[in-house]
Amino acid sequence: MRRFLLIAVPYLWLVALFLIPFVIVLKISLSDIALARPPYMPQLDLSAGWEGLKSFFAALDFENFVFLTTDDLYWKAYLSSLRIALFSTVITLLVGYPIAYAMARAAPEWRPTLLMLVILPFWTSFLIRVYAWMGILSNEGLLNQFLLWTGIISSPLTILNTNTAVYIGIVYTYLPFMILPIYSALERMDDSLLEAAEDLGCSRLSAFWLVTVPLSKNGIIAGCFLVFIPVIGEFVIPSLLGGSGTLMIGKVLWEEFFSNRDWPVASAVAVILLLILVIPIILFQRNEQKQREANG
Amino acid sequence: MAQTVFAPWDDPNEKPLIQFKNVTKRFGEFIAIDDLTQDIYSKEFFALLGPSGCGKTTMMRILAGFETPTEGQILISGQDMSHVPPNKRAVNMMFQSYALFPHLSVWDNIAFGLKREGKDKDTIAARVEEMLRLTRLDRFAKRKPHQISGGQRQRVALARSLAKAPKLLLLDEPLGALDKKLRQDTQFELMDIQEKTGTTFVIVTHDQEEAMTVASRVAVMDEGKIVQVATPDEIYEAPNSIYVADFIGDVNLIEGRAEARMSPATPRDQIEPTTTPDPEGAPPPPAKPDAPQPNAYGEWLQNTLLFPFLGKRAPNPKELPAPSETKPTPALQSPVKTGGIALHWADGHPPIVVANGDPQLAGAAVTLALRPEKLNIAKNKPDTPNALPGTVIDIGYLGNLSTYHVQLDNGPMVKVQVTNVRRIARRDITWEDAVWVSFSETSGVVLKG
């Protein structure tokens, strides 16, 4: 019995904080918009008994999901989110891998310091850091002033409120999530493996591709998922740094919910987003599982 | 059939495979290798032996190409290797940690070097199979390195480094990670494989037993210099310095002052003056038992089969030579060898006779190196030129051997190793016993300093 209780604790947690909210969101997504409080129909009225329950379920329909397919804003937003997530994951990988590599190859006494520098930004609020980027990237921002001062450009660049700014913000914010797993994979690697590869006829470069990259594969996969999954639903960065041209599903969701007060459509958007995210999450967990088996 | 001794280093016409020419390697202030010149010949099993930090690993890494010498030249087959990167050398290395690629199977690990050469698939497959058979790994080809045992990993590493059929194979402490029993088996396996493949092996080790077992020549290193290069038996029996004598095996070092001995045999009473009376007035040594006599079968064997070599057996056993006319002492039956030096090692003791000592050392301070197993221990004064009195302080029982720590009267502590031919209950020497430690006049080595 006690064992059962112990196992039940995490399940109760999941049920109370994930499953029940999700069921509520799912229910709202199947409801209709109403000028009421809360702004949707029908409401579950248990006092009406069996009949009330029947009419409640009868009022639920997939109208909102059908609506999502009729307006091309939504699927464009999904696709655009996926594209931005994919590109920014690739850019983060390209930036993060050399950093992680350099950290892993640094003298052992420097590694804790470098690691600390990577984690350091987390000590400041994420929102403040994004606002700081607004100050850097705006037309009168630090970057433009610096470039004007050096004479590289004669008129300020428009970076803020473009997709470029969104990419900069995302890569900056999520870089530690890419660096840390790759660093931990590279740091564990035995240097003599590279010497062995060279000894067996590899050049430095082919030793990197044939030994270093395969051995950091799990770190790369983990880092990519840790960046890709949250970026799909990212809302703060596109709304603060992006412009009107930046289409991301997180922003659409926010607007449906708060600006249009259309909770049912916003919920439908959220349900679809969740379904899209479930696929990479499952893939990510499979990778973790495989890695554990390989190490065990 | 007489077997020719493998000793290319003695043949002036033989061309060395590897030549170190005045090689120096510095890491900042630290001198890892100090002006080292050494030849290594084809098909040799050359061991670099020394304590950690003596430069042996650096020497190996220079051969592999991971380090470049600060000064001097390395030639392999006469070609200067100074600027040849590791991947362009016909040299392969077996790493101390084995450095097996964890993401590749045993098969792919062995094939790794062959694939880099761009050979076709069938050639690679055939060679990998051959290596798997040689190292008896056929059953594990599909496994990953973490799925096999330490001994098997060691064999994979060996197979991988041999797969490209290198001219020279470097082994960096190859057996360090194995337990003792497995290590001993593997040593013989290594020698077998070396013989089968005819590859030149250079092995780095700090384990002198391992070096002695496998190597054709052993180089003892200290502080970036090779102190002595010789065959294992020569290193052991004739070390050229106190460092080598002390590093290889157990040794007793007796310091003293050398004095040249006259060429004619020194009369015995002069070697053993009666100034040190026997502490307990021990009785004279027991009479020797009769010499072994062949039985009828042995006699038949000699007379019918072996006489071409040995001659017919004399009807009566040979008489011992007649005792000398002046002094009928048993000592003269085995006269002390002439020449050499006498070592004055302690006041009030007769000098030690060292017949193989270099008379040139006369007058110098020298050290006599004596291996513990070449010493005898007895309760009664034995009939040998060198017998030193002492007291048993400690006895180390190792099962097959016992080591007696004997404090010599007025002298140093020595170790005497005796094979336990009798059961321990019948051992007649025990703690605090007054004993005699004896050795022949040729069993030691006189070293300078």
Domain for residue A53, yes or no?
Answer: no
Do both B257 and B243 map to the same domain?
no
Res B427: pLDDT: 76
8 Å CB contact between A222 and A172: no
Do both B102 and B199 map to the same domain?
yes
CATH number where B382 lies? 2.40.50.140
Domain for residue A211, yes or no?
Answer: yes
Tell me the nearest-neighbour CA distance from B53 into chain A, angstroms. 19
Do both B177 and B264 map to the same domain?
no
A201·B96 Cβ contact <8 A: no
Identify the residue with better confidence: B360 or B60.
B60
For B169-208, the pLDDT digits (tens) are 999 988 877 788 888 888 888 888 888 888 999 999 888 8
Domain for residue B239, yes or no?
Answer: yes
Do both B176 and B261 map to the same domain?
no
Domain for residue A36, yes or no?
Answer: no
By three-state DSSP, how is residue A274 classified?
A: helix
pTM of structure: 0.74
For residue B37, what are the CA distances in angstroms to A95, A205, B162, B386? 48, 34, 27, 40
Do both B50 and B199 map to the same domain?
yes
Number of domains in chain B: 2
Domain for residue B262, yes or no?
Answer: yes
Rg for chain B, CA atoms, rounded: 28
Whether A214 has its CB under 8 Å from any CB of chain B: the answer is yes
Domain for residue A271, yes or no?
Answer: yes
Whole-number Å distance between alpha carbons of B127 and B58: 31
CATH number where A121 lies? 1.10.3720.10
Whole-number Å distance between alpha carbons of B223 and B241: 15
Do both B142 and B188 map to the same domain?
yes
Tell me the nearest-neighbour CA distance from B93 into chain A, angstroms. 7
Q: Is the pLDDT of residue A266 over 50?
A: yes
Res B443: pLDDT: 87
Q: Identify from A193, A200, A295 which residue to disrupt to test chain B contact, counting B C-beta atoms within 10 A and taking the largest count.
A: A200
- For residue A266, how many other CB atoms are within 10 A of its CB? 23
Do both B257 and B194 map to the same domain?
no
For B95-147, the pLDDT digits (tens) are 988 999 999 999 999 999 999 988 899 999 999 999 999 888 889 999 999 99
User: What's the whole-number mean pLDDT along residues A83-111?
Assistant: 95
Res A296: pLDDT: 56
Number of domains in chain A: 1
The residue range of the domain holding A209 is 68-295
Do both B245 and B339 map to the same domain?
no
Domain stops at, among B250, B283, B318: B250
8 Å CB contact between A287 and A222: yes
For A207-238, the pLDDT digits (tens) are 999 999 999 998 999 999 999 999 998 889 99
Domain for residue A127, yes or no?
Answer: yes
Do both B167 and B259 map to the same domain?
no
Do both B265 and B174 map to the same domain?
no
Domain for residue B98, yes or no?
Answer: yes
By three-state DSSP, how is residue B184 classified?
A: helix
Do both B243 and B257 map to the same domain?
no
Q: Is the pLDDT of residue B264 over 90?
A: no
Do both B181 and B260 map to the same domain?
no
**What are the two backbone dihedrals, phi and then psi, of residue B255, each rounded to the nearest 5 degrees?**
-90, 150
B92·A199 Cβ contact <8 A: yes
User: What's the whole-number mean pLDDT along residues A129-157?
Assistant: 90
CB-nearest to B95 from A196, A215, A217 is: A196
A196·B99 Cβ contact <8 A: yes
The residue range of the domain holding B349 is 253-269+334-448
Domain for residue A2, yes or no?
Answer: no
Domain for residue A92, yes or no?
Answer: yes
